[in-house]
Amino acid sequence: MSKPFIPKVVTANALLEGDVVYLTADDQWSRQLADAEVIEDLAHGDLRLLDGSSQPDVVVGVYLIDVALEDGIPQPTHFREEFRTRGPSNYNHGKQAELF
């Protein structure tokens, strides 16, 4: 039996600002993980990764991250991606100070 698919989100950095961004269902890039399209199967993940990668004039370094759904909202499962959602942990600056 194959392993259950871990839900995923397409992420990247914005070309102009470098900000961490997430691909939404309507092909926009959001600064907030909560806005991201949650991908529930492998084939769709491959497709959305290609969709994200086909916007090289908007984003850099497109890849898929694992997420867990909490009340329907995606949360990163790895600590690296947790930091990417909010910025550096040494003190309050970066995304956490600007978005939340």
Contact between 13 and another protein by CB under 8 A: the answer reads yes
Closest CB to another protein among residues 18, 47 = 18
Closest CB to another protein among residues 24, 95 = 95
Long-range contacts (CB closer than 8 Å, 24 or more residues apart) made by 67-71? 67/6, 67/7, 67/8, 67/9, 67/33, 67/36, 67/38, 68/7, 69/7, 69/38
Residues 36-75 that bind another protein (CB under 8 A): 56-57, 60-61
Positions in the binding site for another protein (CB under 8 A)? 13, 15-20, 56-57, 60-61, 77-80, 83-84, 87-91, 93-95
